[in-house]
């Protein structure tokens, strides 16, 4: 039986039992009836009062059902750009066949007697909202108590369900999630105008690598980015570089949450210190540092990193529910702007899924990671292992040792859920020690963007200095596309599809070339 349907069946069975959420335990539910009347009366007296109230209240926030109907009628009038007063509200209720349900025109008129002005409408509306949230907490607590008494309840499922319901109160009633198209258009145009006026092109969290940011424009909110490679290629080192660059960015410092399921927090910090101070990792790990190296470690490493907003969690076998709970708290408390997970295949699902197919479990984890990125509106970078299929392929001149989407380990759902898939490739890892020109390619690292939902597919060339756990921009004169070093510029498009181009270097004799026929390969 499908696990999703199984969970739904269990919840339905629990709901069919005694619903403790409707019990008030001998007490009257929190309410502010007088203030509800005052707010509705003020709206009908002052034409600007509705705009103040609607930013805070929704119809369900009112305790009295008649007041809910009246507020909906006011919303309807506002949508039609009609004035909101005693006569128009009564007429709108009559049109909806709800006038008698609220107590007739007399009751609508009576509401205006409860207030003389709209001066304090926002304060009154917030009190009504507080009472509503209290009622919601009572309802949710009752449902949690009822579920907790069920023997068939999975405790991790219950914890996640409880946290989701509490978080939903914040999302639904303290923030306005639903927006009309016209309001979204206004925000979008404003964002475009803001970007036009900015000098920098990065719109998301900066990676710290100019060539990579040129393609991605930074890590974008709500995106799930998968960074995959074979073991020992440098996934963790590269991810730590991304985290360090984000928190230490001069233009846009961003708090980062790093979840390491493989290495301890101490080991990660050693790597970060090595990259920042540029002291060999081996020396830091063994503690074999000279006096000048200790001074360098303090000056360039410890002092600079001590105030960096990087939060590290090294819980082993972290499951998706624990991750989600921790990320929500970090977002609320520290406003994290980037989440990094090292690595995806070490995560576990719920206890119910432990006997299921591992591929299904990884699929569920990847779906939840994408949902979490969207819920918290932050980018999530999840590291992933590759299958051995890369090893079985021969190198060949076409470079087919470069990882492909089909090499993602254990689940094709990772490819489907991700907004971006990046592969790390180092030729020397496959014992390829020279490039096509016969030159040494030691440290040469390629970041291949194999999937990019909102951008182009390109391969970025970096230089890996793994002895200090650091990646830097490659300064070689390689042909990789826009942003080439030196004075190179494109002069033609070979196949006419905007892809492969012929490049010449300005200020040289190659400027004399007039067309593609003059170039021989």
The pLDDT value recorded for residue 172 is 64
pLDDT band at 146 (very low <50, low <70, confident <90, very high): confident
Catalytic residue among 262, 293, 352, 473: 262
pLDDT tens for each residue of 250-303? 788 888 898 988 888 888 888 888 888 888 888 888 877 788 888 888 888 787
pLDDT band at 70 (very low <50, low <70, confident <90, very high): very high
pLDDT tens for each residue of 223-233? 898 888 888 88
The pLDDT value recorded for residue 436 is 67
The pLDDT value recorded for residue 342 is 84
Question: How would you label 352-377 residue by residue, b for 16+ Cβ within 10 Å and e otherwise?
Answer: ebeeeeeebbbbbbbbbbbebbebbe
Distance of CA 323 to CAs 247, 313, 329, 381, Å? 21, 10, 10, 14
**CA 3 to CA 162: how far, in whole Å?**
19
Helix locations, 149-258, DSSP H: 155-169, 181-197, 210-216, 235-247
pLDDT tens for each residue of 415-471? 778 888 888 888 777 777 676 666 667 778 888 888 888 878 888 888 888 888 888
Mean pLDDT throughout 393-413? 65
The pLDDT value recorded for residue 62 is 92
**CA 206 to CA 213: how far, in whole Å?**
7
Among the residue ranges 9-23, 66-80, 324-338, 505-519, the one predicted with the least confidence is 505-519
Burial of residue 378 (number of CB atoms within 10 Å: 0-12, 13-18, 19+): buried
The residue that leads in pLDDT, 357 or 491, is: 357
Characterise 316 by phi-psi region: left (phi > 0), alpha (psi -120 to 50), beta (else): beta
143 is catalytic: no
DSSP string of 243-263, one letter each residue: HHHHHT-SS----EEEEESSS
């Amino acid at each position: 039986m499908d696990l999703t349907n199984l969970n739904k069946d269990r919840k339905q069975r629990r709901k069919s039992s005694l619903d403790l959420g409707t019990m008030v335990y001998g007490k009257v539910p929190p309410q502010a009836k007088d203030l509800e009347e005052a707010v509705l009366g003020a709206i009908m007296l002052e034409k600007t009062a509705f705009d103040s109230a609607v930013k805070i209240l929704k119809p369900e926030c009112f305790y009295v059902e008649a007041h809910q109907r009246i507020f909906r009628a006011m919303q309807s009038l506002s949508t039609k750009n009609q004035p909101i007063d005693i006569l128009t509200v009564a007429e709108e209720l009559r049109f909806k066949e709800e006038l008698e349900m609220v107590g007739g025109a007399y009751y609508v008129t009576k509401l205006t007697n409860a207030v003389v002005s709209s001066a304090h409408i926002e304060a009154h509306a917030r009190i009504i909202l507080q009472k509503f949230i209290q009622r919601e907490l009572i309802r949710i607590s009752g449902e949690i108590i009822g579920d907790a008494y069920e023997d068939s309840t999975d405790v991790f499922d219950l914890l996640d369900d409880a946290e989701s319901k509490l978080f939903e109160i914040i999302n639904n009633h303290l923030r306005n999630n639903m927006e009309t198209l016209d309001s979204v258009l206004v925000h979008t145009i404003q964002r475009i105008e803001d970007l036009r006026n900015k000098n920098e092109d990065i719109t998301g969290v900066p990676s710290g690598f100019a060539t990579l940011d040129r393609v991605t424009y930074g890590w974008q909110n709500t995106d799930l980015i998968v960074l995959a490679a074979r073991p020992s290629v440098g996934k963790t080192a590269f991810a730590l570089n991304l985290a360090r660059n984000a928190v230490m960015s001069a233009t846009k410092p961003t708090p980062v949450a790093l979840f390491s399921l493989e290495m301890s927090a101490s080991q990660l910090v050693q790597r970060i210190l090595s990259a920042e101070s540029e002291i060999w990792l081996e020396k830091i790990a063994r503690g074999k540092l000279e006096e000048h190296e200790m001074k360098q470690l303090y000056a360039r490493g410890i002092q600079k990193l001590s105030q960096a907003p990087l939060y590290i969690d090294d819980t082993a076998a972290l499951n998706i529910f624990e991750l989600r709970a921790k990320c929500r708290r970090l977002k609320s408390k520290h406003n994290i702007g980037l989440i990094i997970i090292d690595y995806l295949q070490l995560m576990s699902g719920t206890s119910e899924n432990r006997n299921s197919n591992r591929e299904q479990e990884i699929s569920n984890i990847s779906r939840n990671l994408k949902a979490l990125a969207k819920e918290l509106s932050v980018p999530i970078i999840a590291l992933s292992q590759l299958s051995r299929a890369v090893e079985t392929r021969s190198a060949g001149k076409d470079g087919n040792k470069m990882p492909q989407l089909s090499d993602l380990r254990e689940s094709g759902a990772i490819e489907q859920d991700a907004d971006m898939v990046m592969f790390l490739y180092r030729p020397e890892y496959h014992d390829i020690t020279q490039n096509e020109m016969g030159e040494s390619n030691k440290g040469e690292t390629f970041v291949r963007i194999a999937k990019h939902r909102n951008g182009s597919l390109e391969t970025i060339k970096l230089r890996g200095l793994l002895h200090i756990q650091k990646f830097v921009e490659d300064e070689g004169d390689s042909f990789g596309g826009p942003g080439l070093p030196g004075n190179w510029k494109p002069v033609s498009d070979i196949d006419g599809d905007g892809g492969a181009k012929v490049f010449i270097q300005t200020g040289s004799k190659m400027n004399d070339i007039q067309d593609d026929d003059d170039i021989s390969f």
